[in-house]
Amino acid sequence: MKLVTIVGARPQFVKAAAISREIARRTGGPEIRERLVHTGQHYDYELSAVFFEQLSIAPPAHHLGVGSGPHGAQTGEMLRKIEVCLQQEQPDLVVVHGDTNSTLAGALAAAKLHLPVAHVEAGLRSFNRAMPEELNRVLTDHLARWLFCPSDTAVTNLRAEGVVDGVHQVGDVMYDVLLLHRERAQAHRPLLGSLGVRPRGFALATVHRPENTDDPTRLRSIFETLDELAAGGLPVILPLHPRTRAALQAHGVSAGATRLIDPVSYEEMLLLLQEAHVLLTDSGGLQKEAYWSEVPCVTLRDETEWVETVEAGWNTVVGADPARIRDAVAGARRPTDRVTLYGDGHAAAAIVDVLAASAA
């Protein structure tokens, strides 16, 4: 069986690593060959190549070099180039991950060529159609033959849209990867010293969603509040996404006392997370990684797809409102009970089992 996996943006390299590793580990059963296509949506070393190196992902068979651009142009260029690749590769199926423009372009190109699509991280919904990621998720789910869900909520969301066939609740592949790297992350401890922070003595922050970066009022509100926290004695470390760097400049917003650093590698991020007192973020993946690392999360969005982390008391959704952000940080605690969320760390094996069975 030959599969083509389409990736393009930072969180997809992490998810794809879990499946590639599982394919490489397998013995017996049908032979599975994987070819990786990188759209080039993320192209900076810190957002792309460092993940391939650290997560031992094989170099892509095709690098499409699409790069940045407006949504239509970026997605359209990917669609055109992925189609050519798939025609050359003639795979049995195509795997896409998550909710980026690379995900949608991959799923649509494959479906138009009548190639079956497997969507990893299916069924997630924010119910906010202003988010490009929400449009990408909904459309990809409706194009997919196999829908691999990380939670029961995701399965329920799909059922509500009439999507029932091919749905599998397998847990989250990001947990598989985190388990493998969480000890190794500790090798990066000297980073804490070089940043001048003590374990549990700082807040970790990330901001990159368009709803925050493209809205000057929200962007200013978030950065002013982070500055206040930092000036008030809780150091704030913020690895800066290039989108946000550009937005801060464009809107004339200053970071003040917040310590901006370049984007960090996967294991460095895990280390910072493990050692943080609290996480403030608008990322999807980090909300779960905080839960698995037992760090309280304050989500800088108006809603979340990862509702289970909120129900379990580990995540507070505050939007961009200064008072709500401050209160959530002041009240950040590790709840005493922990339920198991998003699987047991064997999601990739469950996914490959299903795909291999389709070839048998």
Instruction: Tell me the catalytic residues.
Output: 208
Buried b (16+ CB within 10 A) or exposed e, 326-344: bebbeebeeeeeeeebbbe
Q: How far is the CB of 114 from ligand UD1 (least distance, A)?
A: 25
100 lies in the binding site for ligand UD1 (CB under 6 A): yes
- Provide the Cα torsion 12, 154, 338, 293; round to 10°: 10
- Please give the helix or strand (H or E) that residue 267 lies within, else none: helix 266-275
Regarding 99 and contact with ligand UD1 (CB under 6 A), the answer is: yes
Among 21, 35, 137, 208, which residue sits at the site for ligand UD1 (rule: CB under 6 A)? 208
Q: How far is the CB of 284 from ligand UD1 (least distance, A)?
A: 6
Tell me the per-residue interface mask from 7 to 46 with ligand UD1, x by CB under 6 A, - otherwise. --xxx-----------------------------xxxx--
Smallest distance, Å, CB 48 to ligand UD1? Answer: 6
Q: List, as own/partner pairs, every contact residues 329-337 make where C-beta atoms lie below 8 angstroms and the sequence separation is at least 24, other chains included.
A: 329/203, 329/229, 329/234, 329/278, 329/280, 329/298, 332/277, 332/278, 332/296, 332/298, 333/296, 334/294, 334/295, 334/296, 337/312, 337/313
CB of 100 to ligand UD1, least distance (A): 3
Q: According to CB under 6 A, which one of 22, 34, 121, 133 is a site residue for ligand UD1?
A: 133
CA–CA gap between residue 295 and residue 276 (Å, rounded)? 7
Give 99 or 176: the residue with its C-beta nearer to ligand UD1. 99
Beta strand segments in the chain, E: 2-7, 33-38, 62-63, 93-97, 117-120, 146-149, 167-169, 203-206, 236-239, 259-261, 278-281, 297-299, 315-317
Nearer to ligand UD1 by Cβ, of 71 and 334: the residue is: 71
Residue appearing with tokens 């929400």:
134
Pick the piece of the chain touching ligand UD1 (CB under 6 A) from 76-84, 189-197, 239-247, 325-333. Answer: 239-247
Choose the binding region for ligand UD1 from 51-59, 97-105, 251-259, 291-299 (rule: CB under 6 A): 97-105
Instruction: Please state the closest distance from residue 208 (CB atom) to ligand UD1, in A.
Output: 6
Total residues binding ligand UD1 (CB under 6 A): 18
Q: Which residues bind ligand UD1 (CB under 6 A)?
A: 9-11, 41-44, 47, 68, 99-101, 132-133, 208, 242-243, 246
